[in-house]
Amino acid sequence: MASSTLICDTEAWKDLKGHLEEIKHTHLRDLMADTSRCQSMMVEFDGMLLDYSRQRATLATMDKLYVLAEAAHLKQKIGSMYAGEHINSTENRSVLHVALRAPRDAVINSDGKNVVPDVWNVLDKIREFSEKVRSGSWVGATGKVLKDVIAIGIGGSFLGPLFVHTALQTDPEASECAKGRQLRFLANVDPIDVARNITGLNPETTLVVVVSKTFTTAETMLNARTVRAWITSALGPSAVAKHMVAVSTNLALVEKFGIDPNNAFAFWDWVGGRYSVCSAVGVLPLSLQYGFSVVEKFLKGASSIDQHFISAPFDKNIPVLLGLLSVWNVSFFGYPARAILPYSQALEKFAPHIQQVSMESNGKGVSIDGVPLPYESGEIDFGEPGTNGQHSFYQLIHQGRVIPCDFIGVVKSQQPVYLEGEVVNNHDELMSNFFAQPDALAYGKTSLELQKENVPQHLIPHKTFSGNRPSLSLLLPSLNVYNIGQLLAIYEHRIAVEGFIWGINSFDQWGVELGKVLATQVRKQLHTSRKKGDSVEGFNFSTATLLKRYLEASSDVPADPPTVLPQI
């Protein structure tokens, strides 16, 4: 596409706009009655089943979306990503998270160099190091085994590993491998998060992994200095060498911080922070907790989707279908949000992770060529596991706003429970809801049906459900570490597909910068006010008033305090 051409100017987009008017006159009740349509909207891959028949789409819609994909050069864009082209043009970088989980013998080039051997060098180093720590051949400064790990990082250096860790905690194989060990995540710069993370841990048996792509993120670096103080105040400065390691692309700053470069695990600037869970960012802490051989299966799961994404035709390609349908919902129907509803408590941190992957990637205001977008990109992602969400925000989803929903279900529970005499086992009870909710959204309940049930007239408007609310269902065979890798990659690629169609750069994040700059100015002010009593200057009336109130009300904070660590 020429640099200023936007996807909304293409015939394919205009055709879909016209088609939308036809679709608006359909109801999912009627669309669902067409069995051959529904059959065509089921896709299977590697044991999982995607059912998108409850989308407000016909087969003609899908054909038009494939034409849109062609107009957006989707296939070429996916190819360019895998070929290591600098598709993150504002940062002049390749986007190669697929290389992080590629088989050892794969060839994936960035700037003329095959990056796969570098990836495997780091993976081999992680395998070796994590085995040493787990087996007790690498011990802490006082000779004790390091059985607890605090991973310090934020955003992409936190959310993905937390999601995977949370999902693995109840997996029988993984939990067996993690016996006697703890993995904690310290992300927020709030000292309360420090307190929560160090409470109950002994510095003598704790290994700290500082995870930061840049090694400059203010929150992470202050947390790293704080936990370093916790270690050194108990064990002396030399303990850092045994108790602190790092994951970063900036090895020079790691060394400057005082961590031995031999204890640093590299990754590369062609890995976006939010796409980094398959790099040392996730693989190191997770291998320390579960062992490398478990984590390797996670990489294999993600890799299986990478192969599928690059090779499957679009009408059988799960990430492509999901991405196109999201564009249809956001850009044509104008639905601004997407609910991610895993019917598995193990996936409770999935939606928070996808929030970053999706909203940091696709929440943009200009095209990749800098042209202001006359349409919205991105969506508001949120979610909770079922059935908890049902007792929280589903009221709005059923009778209030229309929010396309992703229902994610699992055939075999990680932790089956059977109670003698119960109607169904506990997982069947959970899954009854997974199967029921999409139909409730799609079909709704009419006033006629309510009348037939003798519902009092005055309650009929309150008990009516309009239905026609789109959702899709993804049924996974189980939730083992391989499936968790697959799920991650499906969403990563789906989000890339959306960005490719919208014509934006899904791999930069300039929108997070301004707030950081303004915080620097506030930090300086707090420093000089506390240390020298300087008055608050250079802020607008509102911020100045708030700052003054804050400083006055906390005037007991010492100007030059000694180190004080949380005391709980």
- HEC string of 517-562 equals HHHHHHHHHHHHHHHHCCCCCCCCHHHHHHHHHHHHHCCCCCCCCC
Using rule CB under 6 A, residue 355 touches ligand F6P: no
The site that binds ligand F6P (CB under 6 A) totals a number of residues, namely 14
**Smaller CB separation from ligand F6P, 53 or 217:** 217
Please give the Cα distance from 424 to 435 (Å, whole number).
15
Among 156, 404, 485, 503, indicate the residue that binds ligand F6P (CB under 6 A): 156
Instruction: Pick one of 161, 203, 273, 352: the residue that binds ligand F6P (CB under 6 A).
Output: 273
Q: Which is nearer to ligand F6P, 361 or 414 (CB)?
A: 361
Of 90-98, 150-158, 416-424, 442-450, which part binds ligand F6P (CB under 6 A)? 150-158
Q: What are phi and psi of 293, to 5 degrees?
A: -65, -30
Residue 352, CB-side half-sphere exposure with 13 Å CA sphere: 15
Active-site annotation holder among 360, 379, 384, 492: 360
Distance CA 260, CA 65 (A): 52
Write down the least CB distance from residue 322 to ligand F6P, Å.
Answer: 23
Residues 357-396 that bind ligand F6P (CB under 6 A): 360
279 in helix, strand or coil? Answer: coil
In angstroms, give the least distance from the CB of 217 to ligand F6P.
3
Catalytic residue among 391, 412, 524, 531: 391
Which of 220, 223, 263, 362 touches ligand F6P by CB under 6 A? Answer: 220
Instruction: Work out how close the CB of 513 gets to ligand F6P at its nearest, in angstroms, rounded to a whole number.
Output: 8
Residues 6+ apart with CB under 8 A from 494: 318, 319, 320, 322, 323, 326
Question: Residue 82 and residue 96: Cα distance in Å, rounded?
Answer: 7
Site for ligand F6P in 230-269 (CB under 6 A): none
Note if 353 is an active site residue: no
Residue 147 contacts by C-beta under 8 Å, 6 or more apart in sequence? 180, 181, 182, 205
Q: Site for ligand F6P (CB under 6 A): which residue of 71, 102, 154, 240?
A: 154
Amino acid at site 144: K
User: Pseudo-torsion of CA 169, 173, 178, 179, nearest 10°?
Assistant: 110
Q: Does 274 bind ligand F6P (CB under 6 A)?
A: yes
Q: Report the alpha-carbon distance of residue 543 to residue 380 in Å, rounded.
A: 28
Token pair of 205, please?
């048996």
Whichever of 506 and 529 has its CB closer to ligand F6P, that residue is: 506
Which CB, 109 or 355, lies closer to ligand F6P? 355
Least separation in angstroms between CB 130 and ligand F6P:
20
Using the rule CB under 6 A, give the single segment among 7-15, 155-163, 473-481, 541-549 that binds ligand F6P: 155-163
* Torsions phi, psi for 85 (to 5 deg): -70, 155
Phi, psi (deg, nearest 5) at residue 434: -60, -40
Is the Cβ of residue 155 or residue 389 nearer to ligand F6P in the bound state? 155
Query: Tokens at residue 179, please?
Result: 């016996």
Nearest distance, CB of residue 422 and ligand F6P, angstroms: 44
| Stretch touching ligand F6P by CB under 6 A, among 154-162, 317-325, 489-497, 544-552 | 154-162
Give yes or no for residue 344 binding ligand F6P (CB under 6 A): no
Other Cβ atoms within 10 Å of 562 Cβ, number = 5
> Of the two residues 228 and 308, which places its CB atom closer to ligand F6P in the complex?
228
The DSSP output letter for 373 is P
Query: In whole angstroms, what is the distance from residue 91 CA to residue 79 CA?
Result: 19
Q: Which is nearer to ligand F6P, 331 or 505 (CB)?
A: 505
Report the distance separating Cα 48 and Cα 478, nearest Å: 9
Q: Which residue has the tokens 């909770």?
A: 384
Q: Which is nearer to ligand F6P, 246 or 481 (CB)?
A: 246
Distance CA 356, CA 400 (A): 25
With CB under 6 A as the contact rule, the residue among 12, 19, 72, 155 that binds ligand F6P is 155
**What is the x/- site pattern for ligand F6P, positions 3-42, by CB under 6 A?**
----------------------------------------
The answer to the question of residue 223 lying near ligand F6P (CB under 6 A) is: no
Q: Minimum CB separation from ligand F6P for residue 250, in Å?
A: 8
Catalytic residue status for 391: yes
Q: What SS3 class is residue 382?
A: strand
Residue 55 or 248: the one with the smaller Cβ distance to ligand F6P is 248
Check if 516 is active-site: yes
Applying CB under 6 A, does 157 fall inside the site for ligand F6P? yes
519 binds ligand F6P (CB under 6 A): no
**Do the beta carbons of residue 408 and residue 347 sit within 8 Å?**
yes
Q: From the CB of residue 533, how many other CB atoms can be counted at a distance below 10 Å?
A: 10
Q: Tell me which amino acid residue 383 is.
A: G
Q: Helices (DSSP H) in 328-425: which residue ranges?
A: 350-362, 394-399
Shortest separation between residue 483's beta carbon and ligand F6P, angstroms: 25
Query: Scanning residues 159 to 218, which ones bind ligand F6P (CB under 6 A)?
Result: 212-214, 217
Min dist CB 360 to ligand F6P, Å, is 6
The yes or no reply on residue 512 touching ligand F6P (CB under 6 A) is yes
Sheet of 337-342, strand order: 42-45, 48-51, 471-476, 405-410, 337-342, 380-382
Comparison of 154 and 318: residue with beta carbon closer to ligand F6P: 154
Q: Provide, rounded to whole angstroms, the least separation between the CB of residue 508 and ligand F6P.
A: 9
| Least separation in angstroms between CB 192 and ligand F6P | 20
Rounded CA separation 346/518 (Å): 38
Question: Which amino acids are annotated catalytic?
Answer: 360, 391, 516
Q: Footprint of ligand F6P on this chain (CB under 6 A)?
A: 154-157, 212-214, 217, 220, 273-274, 360, 509, 512
